[in-house]
Amino acid sequence: MRKLLLVMAALLACAGPAALAQEKINLSIATGGTGGVYYPLGGGMANVLSKYVPGMQATAEVTGGSVDNLKLIGSGKGYIALAMADASLDALNGKDKFSGNPVSVRTLMVLYPNRMHVVTVEGTKINSMQDLKGKRVSTGSPGSATGSWPFA
């Protein structure tokens, strides 16, 4: 993890060290809720960038997650955002939660493999993905890519 963050800092530093040294840059890293993976990961990135990139002050910002983060990217302000690949593709194509509002998003790096796990409580008579048809599924907070949605 530390090597990944140092590589990221080195790449940003190489992008324009003279400009960075002359100009103070404030960067927000849009993460997620404090109880998830994105917030501590973004905090680590912010620490490394602030420490190793001259003139940069980076901070991790608590958000609802991927969807909110992609909307922040679309605002045009100085953000790097952590987001799931499927939400990023929806944002780029202006689909689902981004319908009519595409976001010109670009991927900087893949941080870790992301697997989906589906669980339920005993007694629901849900034994397969097909059993979810017609049920309401909640897998995350509003503003995340895994918020509540009806299963069709």
Percent of the chain at pLDDT > 90 equals 47
Q: Which of 63-72, 93-102, 137-146 has the lowest mean pLDDT?
A: 137-146
Question: Residue 99 falls within a domain, yes or no?
Answer: yes
Question: Residue 145 falls within a domain, yes or no?
Answer: no
Question: Residue 137 falls within a domain, yes or no?
Answer: no
Residue 77, pLDDT score = 83
The CATH number for 57's domain is 3.40.190.10
Question: What secondary structure, in 3-state letters, does the chain show?
Answer: CHHHHHHHHHHHHHCCHHHHHHCCEEEEEECCCCCCCHHHHHHHHHHHHHHHCCCEEEEEECCCCHHHHHHHHHCCCCEEECCCHHHHHHHHHCCHHHCCCCCCCCCCCCCCCCCCCCCCCCCCCCCCHHHHCCCEECCCCCCCCCCCEECC
pTM over 0.75: no
Residue 4, pLDDT score = 58
Question: Residue 126 falls within a domain, yes or no?
Answer: no
Q: What is the pLDDT of residues 115-145, one digit of tens each?
A: 767 778 888 889 888 998 888 777 666 666 6
Question: Residue 146 falls within a domain, yes or no?
Answer: no
Residue 49 sits in which domain range?
Answer: 2-115
Question: Residue 30 falls within a domain, yes or no?
Answer: yes
- Number of domains present in the structure of the chain: 1
